[in-house]
């Protein structure tokens, strides 16, 4: 059975999960339109995630995807963290605020969240996807035994092979162009920065499982191109940031529609892991920061979110986690269902 | 008239110029097969270039492209250069050799090469392409008046707009994935590292001239994908490195067929300008080198070539300018004409 048949999709498109941007309403609109909507529950606990799943189901009858963060749990380092707080203190003070005195690991990794696993086995969404790595073999086996289709992000062939070896059904090939958090398993390992065309072709040629292409795709021409490359589907995130159902705030939407969209930056200063963000005051702060000075993900994100909150309280949007891919200048503001219909027409035309 | 009509191409493919790798025999084989072959004369003087043009014409009747380097002429800096020589001296000595005492600007930029311009106006190849920038307005006007089709590389929309404003006929969108020298006009300016999918779509949507997509494309699936993106043609370089007609030496071919192909590196230490090279001893040396420590292009290249020559004399291929794009693992060894025929079949199948 092919990827689209397995997930009963009328159109080979996945709306990327995008924690903090996507909503159950967005996922439902996409799924109701025949593509695969996604929600991201990496920043939620099991009960919050269950409520999000229920909110999607209230709004649509189609299949959808639930995305989980499988990062190595953070190892706290009080020295690095307090230095990092001191480094950003002038930014807080310039905003009339003070940084927190200490930082916490604001998200629990799925690899140690038994309650989340139990919730998924009970709710049984059609698809579950993993980012930043993989859960353990027992979790993968249990999810598969529950009939859930599994996907995981890879940025290179070694990660992709480990995904296939773990029994995951499909690989999401995440190109260097992609917005938001780069799915690298180990953020401190060497990164070859593979673009989506080379990565997709290398994985399609080497693997026997469906490959979903992600990174820099904004329209039907891009979707058609990915299908030509042999991808089973295209995953678009940035294309959905400006939709009506997105949580993107006014500053984020303004940045996306302006010059910053042409200058996205891969940085780890916002969250502690490499992520592609529209160029703003926060990313410019990160230009000269050695990787080792930044606390572990998601501990650094605790401070990043506090800084953004302090700035927003003053009407300053320059410290937002304005994740976006390199295709950002092509983003369009419309309801998500209209965007899916537009993408269908464009894909047809391009091929 | 469309791009392929203008250049009388049966297949929308350009074999990338690749100074030091391509040959008149390669260009002729490609052009004879209905695509656009290219020679690169940036490392030649006018008479050498004239001989290369004659060598293509001896072998084929099709149209072909002559590529020129339009870099800002190097500004010599004796302090930077002597420090650079000292920095690499241990590498030479480990090879039983000594570095040269001083470095020279080994190539003349086309922007100050009147003899090259006169030769082109006399020989009138069907197409001329520019890399690293543009020549002055009088040269562009003279080449156009001579009926020559002009193309120039762009890595972002600002460069592309300046190309169009100068009256150049087509833009070669060079993605971050591309092998060899990155065509940035100013190597010291900020670089957004745009991948080929986002760059091609942004340029196709913004410009009224043909856009040729380059970077990471290795097969017909990739060519079909670029056409879906709205490109008028795809330009492939790395795909031709392992062809019979290539000048790539044994070490280069071995690296291309091995693990290094998965780990290309954008570095300026080999030549003085950012270029994507297969990971080797030379690129690893460059990891920690600040940009400003490297002499200007092509002065640094004088030392890079000397170091490679010293190594090769000992059978060591670890210092070669083994340029390649991120699609390198998909390179195939065969005659160039066979590769073009293979690409045609694959493109047909992919669409």
Partner-chain contact B195 A230, CB within 8 Å? no
Low-confidence ranges of chain A (pLDDT < 50): none
Q: Give the tens place of pLDDT for each residue, B175-206.
A: 999 999 999 999 999 999 999 999 999 999 99
Which residue in B has a C-alpha nearest to residue A213's C-alpha? B197
**Confidence at residue A1, expressed as pLDDT on a 0 to 100 scale:** 86
**Confidence at residue A232, expressed as pLDDT on a 0 to 100 scale:** 98
Instruction: Count chain A–chain B contacts defined by CB atoms under 8 A.
Output: 129
Check if the beta carbon of residue A30 is closer than 8 Å to that of residue A334: no
From chain A, which residues contact B within 8 Å (Cβ)?
156-157, 175-177, 190, 192-199, 201-202, 204-205, 215-219, 221-222, 224-226, 228-230, 262-264, 325-327, 329-330, 350-351
CB within 8 A of A290, min separation 6: which ones?
A: none
Q: How confident is the model at residue B351 (pLDDT cuts 50, 70, 90)?
A: confident
Check if the beta carbon of residue A158 is closer than 8 Å to that of residue A139: no
**Confidence at residue B288, expressed as pLDDT on a 0 to 100 scale:** 86
Instruction: Please give the structure tokens belonging to residue B335.
Output: 């005659």
- Spell out the domain ranges in chain B: 1-73+108-246+331-351, 75-106+249-321
Rounded to a whole number of angstroms, the CA Rg of chain A reads 19
Residues of A in contact with B196 (CB under 8 A): 195, 197
User: If you search the block for the tokens 């795909």, which residue do you land on?
Assistant: B239
Partner-chain contact B228 A230, CB within 8 Å? no
pLDDT at B286 over 90: no
**Confidence at residue A351, expressed as pLDDT on a 0 to 100 scale:** 81
Nearest CB to B197 within list A177, A204, A350: A177
Residue B15 Rama label (left phi>0; alpha psi -120 to 50; beta)? beta
CB within 8 A of B175, min separation 6: which ones?
A: A195, A197, B155, B194, B195, B196, B197, B199, B200, B213, B214, B215, B216
**Confidence at residue A287, expressed as pLDDT on a 0 to 100 scale:** 86
Rounded to a whole number of angstroms, the CA Rg of chain B reads 19
Task: Write phi, then psi, for B132 (nearest 5 degrees).
Answer: 75, 10
**Confidence at residue B337, expressed as pLDDT on a 0 to 100 scale:** 98
Average pLDDT, chain B: 97
Task: Tell me which of B155, B198, B328 to substitute to probe the interface with A (most A C-beta atoms closer than 10 Å).
Answer: B198
DSSP label at residue B263:
-
d(CA B29, CA A20): 53
Give the alpha-carbon dihedral of B321, B322, B324, B328, to 10 degrees: -170
**Confidence at residue A228, expressed as pLDDT on a 0 to 100 scale:** 98
pLDDT at B164 over 90: yes
Which residue in B has a C-alpha nearest to residue A331's C-alpha? B202
Q: How confident is the model at residue B287 (pLDDT cuts 50, 70, 90)?
A: confident
**Confidence at residue B12, expressed as pLDDT on a 0 to 100 scale:** 98
The architecture that CATH gives domain A1-73+108-248+332-351 is Alpha-Beta Barrel (3.20)
Which residue in B has a C-alpha nearest to residue A204's C-alpha? B221
Q: How confident is the model at residue B254 (pLDDT cuts 50, 70, 90)?
A: very high
Q: What's the mean pLDDT in B48-69? A: 97
Residues of A in contact with B176 (CB under 8 A): 176, 193, 195
Check if the beta carbon of residue A154 is closer than 8 Å to that of residue A174: yes
Q: Which fold has domain B1-73+108-246+331-351?
A: TIM Barrel (3.20.20)
Partner-chain contact A195 B197, CB within 8 Å? yes
Partner-chain contact B197 A263, CB within 8 Å? no
CB within 8 A of B206, min separation 6: which ones?
A: B157, B160, B161
Q: pTM for the complete prediction?
A: 0.97
Instruction: Please give the structure tokens belonging to residue A133.
Output: 């790595």
**Confidence at residue A180, expressed as pLDDT on a 0 to 100 scale:** 98
**ipTM confidence score:** 0.97
């Amino acid at each position: 059975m092919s990827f689209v048949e397995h997930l009963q999709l009328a159109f080979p498109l996945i709306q990327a999960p995008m924690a903090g941007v996507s909503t159950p309403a967005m996922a439902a609109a996409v799924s109701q339109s025949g593509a695969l909507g996604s929600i991201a529950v990496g920043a939620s606990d099991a009960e919050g995630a269950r409520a999000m799943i229920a909110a999607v189901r209230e709004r649509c009858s189609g299949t959808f995807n639930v995305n989980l963060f499988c990062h190595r749990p953070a190892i706290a380092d009080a020295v690095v963290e307090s230095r990092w707080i001191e480094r950003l203190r002038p930014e807080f003070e310039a905003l009339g605020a003070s940084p927190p005195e200490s930082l916490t690991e604001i998200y629990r990794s799925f690899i140690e969240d038994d309650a989340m696993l139990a919730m998924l086995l009970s709710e049984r969404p059609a698809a579950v996807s993993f980012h930043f790595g993989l859960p353990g073999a027992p979790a993968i086996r249990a999810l598969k035994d529950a009939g859930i289709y599994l996907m995981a992000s890879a940025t290179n062939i070694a990660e992709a092979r480990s995904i296939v070896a773990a029994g995951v059904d499909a690989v999401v090939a995440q190109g260097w162009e992609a917005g938001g958090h780069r799915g690298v398993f180990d953020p401190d390992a060497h990164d070859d920065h593979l673009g989506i065309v080379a990565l997709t072709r290398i994985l399609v040629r080497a693997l026997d499982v469906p490959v979903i292409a992600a990174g820099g795709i904004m329209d039907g021409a891009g979707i058609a191109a990915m299908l030509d490359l042999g991808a089973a589907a295209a995953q678009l995130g940035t294309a959905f940031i400006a939709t009506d159902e997105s949580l993107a705030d006014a500053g984020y939407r303004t940045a996306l529609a302006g010059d910053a969209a042409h200058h996205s930056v891969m940085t780890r200063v916002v969250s502690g892991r490499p992520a592609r963000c529209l160029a703003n005051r926060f990313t410019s702060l990160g230009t000269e920061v050695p990787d080792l000075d930044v606390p572990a993900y998601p501990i650094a994100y605790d401070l990043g979110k506090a800084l953004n909150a302090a700035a927003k309280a003053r009407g300053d949007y320059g410290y937002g986690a304005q994740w976006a891919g390199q295709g950002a200048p092509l983003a369009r503001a419309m309801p998500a269902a209209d965007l899916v219909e537009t993408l269908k027409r464009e894909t047809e035309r391009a091929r």
